[in-house]
Amino acid sequence: DIQMTQSPSILSASVGDRVTITCRAGQSISSWLAWYQQRPGRAPKLLLYKASTLESGVPSRFSGGESGTEFTLTINGLQPDDFATYYCQQYNAYPWTFGQGTKVEIK
């Protein structure tokens, strides 16, 4: 199985901040990585796929990067709606695997 190591587990930030979440794959997954946002009591929402392609309707303050097996999700200018939990997921190979999640909370 491909292990996905996501950090940090919790991120405290303020509205307007630039924040970055990192996800490291245990082996090459090409660019087959997605990022999801999940608010409490809600289903996950796809933000980006193929590491850096923004899903339709997602604000441009969200962006994704990659360098080898390390992937990043950056939010430029945190908004109140962005306080949520974020997950990375690889879909390069079955079984698909998720990172442990990063909770972005208000500082």
Partner 1 sequence: EVQLVESGGGLVQPGGSLRLSCAASGVTLSRHDMSWFRQAPGKGLEWVSTLISTDEPFYADSVKGRFIISRDSFRNTLFLQMNSLRAEDTAIYYCARKIGYGYGSDYWGQGTLVAVSS
Rounded to a whole number of angstroms, the minimum distance from the CB of residue 36 to partner 1 is 7
**Shortest CB 46 distance to partner 1, Å:** 5
CA angle 100, 46, 79 (to 5 degrees): 85
Footprint of partner 1 (CB under 8 A): 32, 34, 36, 38, 43-46, 48-50, 55, 87, 89, 91, 94-101
Does residue 50 contact residue 33 with C-beta atoms inside 8 Å?
yes
Phi then psi for residue 36, to 5 deg, are: -125, 150
Of 1 and 70, nearer to partner 1 (C-beta) is: 1
Exposure letters 78-97 (e unless 16+ CB within 10 A, then b):
beeebbbbbbbbbeeeeeeb
Q: How far apart are CB 33 and partner 1 at their closest, in Å?
A: 9
Nearer to partner 1, 18 or 50 (CB): 50
